Amino acid sequence: MRPETTLQELCVQMHHRVSEFLTREQNQNLQKTQRQVRVSLKILEEAISKYGLDGLSLSYNGGKDCLVLLILYLSALHNHFPARLRAVHIRTLHPFTEVDEFVAESQRTYCLQLVHYQGRPMREAFADYLHAHPEIRAVLVGTRRADPHGSQLKYFHRTDRGWPDFVRIHPVIDWHYADVWNFIRELDVPYCSLYDRGYTSLGGTEDTRPNPVLKRDWGYAPAHELEDDDMERLGRD
């Protein structure tokens, strides 16, 4: 991807790649992921229609789930001619260097207008972000059912009492772990290098380690080899 690629060109490119993925010959696993992609795109189109480009932002931390969401969002924007892509990065207290580097690379590659918050509780960081950008009414989030507090979430879910008031949008909420890696690998999307070293869920350096299920005699198998959603967070404290 050329460094001089504009956001509009990038959206068209991603739309072509996602559309091509949806037309590929289907096996059972790929068919499930293609179905998830179609549902997610409908949710994103509804969000764009409801809140407008200036009313939306993306929560991005460099993890696999929000990476999938980013690619889908870019694809959904292909005929809206966005001037910018708003995003917020709430950085963990003890970040991995590899994650920081990947977030910076993503910011350049995907034309993200990314606002960073360091070592702040998520609630406070969002309060500051929305105070600085009062036009934003909804935030796209890469939460899935397997995540803590994800089991009861809806596609459009207003924040809980005590949080700053905005709508959380969860386009990939019903994706399974295998769907995430099917999509990333089929589209050949670059991802954080920690996933190739056995990490399956990324937090900070003090609460994240390679997934023990992927331990081998020679080290750790890559994240995409994990098969069970319920084991995704075994490397997290």
Q: What are the boundaries of each domain within the chain? A: 7-169
Evaluate whether 29 touches 155 at the Cβ level (below 8 Å). no
| Three-class DSSP category at 63 | coil
* pLDDT at position 26: 73
Angle between helices 7-22 and 64-76 (to 10 degrees): 100
* pLDDT at position 119: 79
| Three-class DSSP category at 158 | strand
Give the burial class of 97: count Cβ atoms within 10 A of its Cβ; 0-12 exposed, 13-18 middle, 19 or more buried: exposed
| Three-class DSSP category at 88 | strand
* pLDDT at position 120: 84
Under the banding of pLDDT at 50, 70 and 90, the label for residue 1 is very low
How far lies 195's CA from each of 77, 99, 191, 226, 233, in Å?
28, 10, 8, 11, 13
* pLDDT at position 147: 84
Residues 184, 185, 190, CA angle at the centre, nearest 5°?
65
Instruction: Report, as an integer, the average pLDDT of 76-98.
Output: 94
Q: Which CATH superfamily is domain 7-169 in?
A: HUPs (3.40.50.620)
Mean pLDDT, all residues of the chain: 94
The H-or-E segment that residue 209 falls in is none
* pLDDT at position 237: 81
Residues 130, 3, 186, CA angle at the centre, nearest 5°?
85
Predicted confidence (pLDDT) at residue 3 exceeds the cutoff of 60: no
Span of 50-54, 120-124, 182-186 with lowest mean pLDDT: 120-124
Angle between helices 64-76 and 28-51 (to 10 degrees): 60
Q: What six digits make up the tokens of 88?
A: 């917020």
What is the C-alpha separation between 106 and 116, in angstroms, rounded?
A: 13
Span of 2-6, 28-32, 214-218 with lowest mean pLDDT: 2-6
Give the burial class of 164: count Cβ atoms within 10 A of its Cβ; 0-12 exposed, 13-18 middle, 19 or more buried: middle
* pLDDT at position 2: 46
Residue 97's Cβ-side half-sphere holds a number of Cα atoms within 13 Å equal to 0
Say if pTM beats, i.e. exceeds, 0.85.
Answer: yes
* pLDDT at position 69: 99
Q: What six digits make up the tokens of 117?
A: 């918050």
Higher pLDDT, 109 or 83: 109
Higher pLDDT, 148 or 19: 19
Predicted confidence (pLDDT) at residue 109 exceeds the cutoff of 90: yes
What is the C-alpha separation between 237 and 200, in angstroms, rounded?
A: 13
Residues 131-172: tens digit of each pLDDT: 999 999 999 999 999 887 878 899 999 999 899 999 999 999
What is the C-alpha separation between 201 and 203, in angstroms, rounded?
A: 7
